[in-house]
Amino acid sequence: MNLITFTKEHEELLFQIPLFRDLPSHIKDSLLEQLDYSVYNISKNEQIAKQNTICKNLMVLLKGRLRVDIFDALGNEVMIENIIAPRAFATPHLFSADSLLPATFTVVEEGIYFTVTKASLFELISKEPSILKKFLQITGNCNRCTVSRLRALSQKSVRGRFITYLFEHAKDDNNKVLIEHNIMQLAEYLCVTRPALSKEINKMIKEGMIAMEGKQVQLIDFNGLQLAIL
C-alpha cells in the first residue's frame, strides 16, 4: 500500500457509502476535519487486512474490488464474498469485544483504500446521533451475512444448502440470482464436495427447477424449491 493525497474525487466516493450518505450539510462540511484518516493506493493480490488481526480502523474501499476469505481450523480457504467499491467493510468488528477480524481481505482489482482511526470515529459518532444510527444499521446488515451462511449450513442435504443459498441471494424484484462464487468456491462455502454440488445442480436443471447460464441462475419451480428445504 502506498500513502496518497486525499482528493475531491475521493471525497465524492466517500459520501456514497451508507455511513456518510445523505448527511445534513452542516455535518458533511466539517466531517473530514473531525476524522483522523489516511488514503492508500492498493495493488492486486495485496492482503490489506488479515483474519485474526485486530481491527483498528474503519476500513473503506473507495475504488477497486476485494475478495473475502475465511481460513478454517484445518487451514482450508473458504471464499465468502466480493466487495465492490465504494463500500465500508468489517464495520461490526471495529467496536466488538476483541476487535478481531473474522476474514482476510485481498485485492483482486487495484484501487483506493481509505481508513479512519477508531478513536476519531468514536468521537464523531458520539457527537452525531445521525451517524451513530447509520453505524448501528450497517452493523446489523453485516451480521445478516453471517446468519445467511448459517441458514444454508443448517440444511443437511446438498440440494437444501444450494437452494437456501439461492433464496438468500435472490433479489426481491426478480427470479434471477447472480452467483459470486465459481463452483469450487461455492462448494467450499456450502461445505460440500464439488462433484456432489455439480451433480445436484445438473439434477435440478433436468427436473426443471432452475435454469443456469454461466453464474446466473433462474428460479423456475418456486414451489418445488421451497418444498425441498422444508
Q: What whole-number distance in Å separates Cα of residue 10 and Cα of residue 185?
A: 32
* Same-domain status, 176 and 75: no
pLDDT(49) > 80: yes
What's the structural domain count of the chain? 2
Enter the C-alpha cell of residue 144: 445478516
Mean pLDDT lowest among 14-23, 138-147, 166-175: 138-147
Q: What is the pLDDT of residue 145?
A: 65
User: How much is the pTM?
Assistant: 0.74
Is 88 in contact with 131 (CB distance < 8 Å)? no
Same domain, 96 and 127: yes
**CATH number of the domain enclosing 30:** 2.60.120.10
Cβ burial of 217 (10 Å; 0-12, 13-18, 19+) is: buried
Range of the domain at 13: 2-147
Predicted local distance difference test score (pLDDT) of residue 185? 84
Look at residues 114, 147, 180 and tell me which one is the last residue of a structural domain.
147
pLDDT at residue 143 tops 80: no
Task: Answer yes or no: do 10 and 111 share one domain.
Answer: yes
